[in-house]
Copies of this chain bind each other. A is one copy, B any other.
Amino acid sequence: MPTISLRGNEMPASPIRKLAPLSDAAKERGIKVYHLNIGQPDLPTPKEGLDAMRNIDRTILEYSPSDGYRSLREKLTTYYKKFNINLTPEDIIVTTGGSEAVLFAFLSCLNPGDEIIVPEPAYANYMAFAISAGAKIHTVATTIQEGFSLPKVEKFEELINEKTKGILICNPNNPTGYLYTRKEMNQIRDLVKKYDLFLFSDEVYREFIYTGSPYISACHLEGIENNVVLIDSVSKRYSECGIRIGALITKNKEVRDAVMKFCQARLSPPLIGQIIAEASIDAPQDYLRDTYDEYVERRKCLIDGLNKIPGVYSPIPMGAFYTVASLPVDDSDIFCAWCLSDFDYEGETVFMAPASGFYTTPGSGRNEVRIAYVLKKEDLTRALFVLQKALEVYPGRTNK
């Protein structure tokens, strides 16, 4: 039997996936599991998107252009204009989800062995795409004590060497919910400029910013227009993760030309998804406001509730729909598994993502979990109660 690639062995197994069989088993035992582990919004897809899908009157579902339909890219420019991001349709390449945008950004910009710097905790799949491209991720630590704010510039500079080709940020952040301030974004801009790096900026959660703080996009930063590669997706903002429509956006023509070669190789992004995404942009303001208001309430409910549980601490996330909280436990990997395999309170339990999977530094985030607030408020309230009960009886509880 031939041997598989080292890459296959190096690919991290998702911490959530590892626990999924335990969750399934709990359900089979009749236990209700509150899913605080996933980023799948439970809110409806815009009616405009669903209607567009149902009204497709094509007889052939054929290839679309490799960079996506021009009509979608044109409509996206009007969407971005609302955020003071000025683009032409040529700046936008439609991808198969934000995932493909990250992969193609890495394949196009990074040589095998090249390095990028990412503040951690970070979205676990960045690592997977870096491995796919043969690139290396170095992380700078952010901490729950400092609310996951940007590490000092010197921490980045310590890691920069001749192999360093870029910085990757996720803003607002998955998993922490942190939103970079104008000052922090300017620091990133200066670093990028000083060392002539790429700035890969994943901004798929821009609709979900809950404080009065301004959203500073990488595209707002002056003087590094040719360094910025924006990663985007319609998945979260229109609750249509399944259609797999994202975008890679850059003013750098050389990068676009390289990305297009990877796009042409895979022929085209999904046709039906593009039609749905284009129509979803027409969703009325009410849709986005209702969605937003719902998350505002859930966020308050979750963060207030978490901080009331003895020994639990969550900073107040400014955006996205996640928070990273610290728990009074020895090891959140063990605790999260125990919740699913050994615990229930009145037939109910919680499924959380151990934060270790979002760190590359061994031991980091050992007592932290990522909690997504993609459940109704009543369910969140109940889940918090069940979590409190779990912490009361968990054998590995630490005294805090």
Contacts and interface: CB of A to CB of B under 8 A. Distances in A.
A244 B258 contact: no
A175 interface: no
A265 interface: yes
B265 A241 contact: no
A272 interface: yes
A238 B197 CA distance: 45
B63 A5 contact: no
A311 B397 CA distance: 84
A115 B255 CA distance: 27
Nearest to A47: B59
Contacts of A331: none
B97 A267 contact: yes
A63 B244 CA distance: 9
A44 interface: yes
A164 to B, nearest CB: 10
Given A62-B241, A63-B40, A266 B5 contact: no
- Give the oligomeric copy count: 2
A173 interface: no
Contacts of A100: 266
Contacts of A242: 61-64, 268, 270-272
A132 B1 contact: no
Nearest to A258: B8
A273 B276 contact: no
A45 B64 contact: no
Contacts of A243: 61, 270-272
Of the listed residues A12, A107, A129, the one surrounded by the most CB atoms of chain B closer than 10 A to its CB is: A107
A145 interface: no
